[in-house]
């Protein structure tokens, strides 16, 4: 299940051993947007010691990038990226700004701090899951319309783009993994008197 942040931008701040860690999450559509946001945060927080970053793009996280921005290699960007990967977050860039507070954390402490900053931000941010749905086109006689509406209500589905001509036509969108089951139920419930065909696919966002 792919997930992304619901809002365009979210920020979360915490203090770890006197250092300020500010995690900025931004929803992005491509690598240019991600890098533009990273540069924007760097300009806004130019007095910070580090602005480390990570982002994933694409339905299957095809693009993955990370930067330690001066922290010891592997202690910031990669741990941040791992959190995004494990949470199956897509099309989001995370920038963690660190204002050093005078207490060194060590490699293990840095890894926990940067990964934790992203994880805690994702715990607090409103998220949506991205679900692929299949359109099922429906043709039905007027005499069965009320029964169809009752059936759709029980399945929490809705007939859209309904056209009332010699018969009633419309579409429902069903989660991809439920298509076969819904088609079977329609056939069984209406004794084959409802004509169905597959249309286009779409992605929708559902609140988590």
Cβ count within 10 A of residue 73: 9
Among 82-86, 98-102, 118-122, 204-208, which is the least confidently predicted range? 204-208
The whole-angstrom separation of Cα 124 and Cα 134 is: 31
The pLDDT value recorded for residue 133 is 94
Its domain, for residue 163, covers 131-207
pLDDT band at 84 (very low <50, low <70, confident <90, very high): very high
pLDDT band at 184 (very low <50, low <70, confident <90, very high): very high
Count of the separate structural domains present in the chain: 2
Q: What is the pLDDT of residues 17-56, one digit of tens each?
A: 999 999 999 999 999 999 999 999 999 999 999 999 999 9
The rounded mean pLDDT for the chain is 95
Residue 1 reports pLDDT greater than 80? no
The pLDDT value recorded for residue 103 is 93
The pLDDT value recorded for residue 10 is 97
User: Do 121 and 136 belong together in one domain?
Assistant: no
Chain centre distance of CA 26: 12
Q: What is the CATH number of the domain that holds 142?
A: 3.30.70.240
User: Do 149 and 197 belong together in one domain?
Assistant: yes
Cβ count within 10 A of residue 39: 13
Side-chain half-sphere of 47: how many Cα atoms within 13 Å? 2
pLDDT band at 192 (very low <50, low <70, confident <90, very high): confident
Higher pLDDT residue, 119 or 2?
119
The pLDDT value recorded for residue 208 is 87
Torsion of CA 163, 167, 169, 174, to 10 degrees: 140
Residue 89 reports pLDDT greater than 90? yes
Domain-terminating residue out of 106, 125, 144: 125
User: Do 135 and 121 belong together in one domain?
Assistant: no
User: Do 111 and 162 belong together in one domain?
Assistant: no
Residue 110 reports pLDDT greater than 90? yes
Domain-terminating residue out of 66, 96, 125: 125
User: Do 138 and 92 belong together in one domain?
Assistant: no
Q: What is the CATH number of the domain that holds 71?
A: 3.30.230.30
Output the pTM of the full model.
0.82
Q: Quick check: 25 and 122 in contact, CB under 8 A? A: yes
User: Do 95 and 36 belong together in one domain?
Assistant: yes
Domain-terminating residue out of 93, 125, 157: 125
The whole-angstrom separation of Cα 38 and Cα 120 is: 19
User: Do 53 and 110 belong together in one domain?
Assistant: yes
DSSP class of residue 27 equals E
């Amino acid at each position: 299940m792919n997930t992304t942040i619901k809002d365009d931008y979210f920020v979360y701040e915490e203090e770890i051993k006197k250092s300020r860690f500010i995690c900025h999450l931004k929803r992005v559509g491509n690598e240019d947007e991600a890098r533009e946001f990273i540069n924007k945060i760097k300009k806004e927080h130019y007095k910070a010691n580090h602005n480390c970053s990570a982002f994933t793009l694409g339905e299957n996280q095809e693009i993955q990038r990370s930067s330690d921005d001066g922290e010891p290699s592997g202690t910031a960007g990669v741990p941040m990226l791992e959190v995004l990967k494990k949470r199956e977050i897509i099309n989001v860039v995370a920038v963690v700004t660190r204002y050093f507070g005078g207490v060194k954390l060590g490699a293990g402490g840095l890894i926990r701090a940067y990964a934790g900053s992203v994880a805690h931000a994702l715990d607090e941010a409103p998220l949506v899951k991205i679900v692929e749905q299949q359109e099922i086109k429906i043709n039905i006689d007027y005499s069965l319309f009320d029964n169809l509406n009752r059936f759709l209500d029980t399945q929490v589905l809705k007939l859209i783009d309904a056209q009332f001509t010699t018969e009633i036509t419309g579409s429902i969108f069903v989660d991809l993994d439920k298509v076969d089951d819904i088609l079977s139920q329609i056939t069984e419930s209406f004794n084959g008197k409802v004509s169905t065909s597959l249309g286009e696919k779409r992605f929708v966002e559902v609140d988590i």
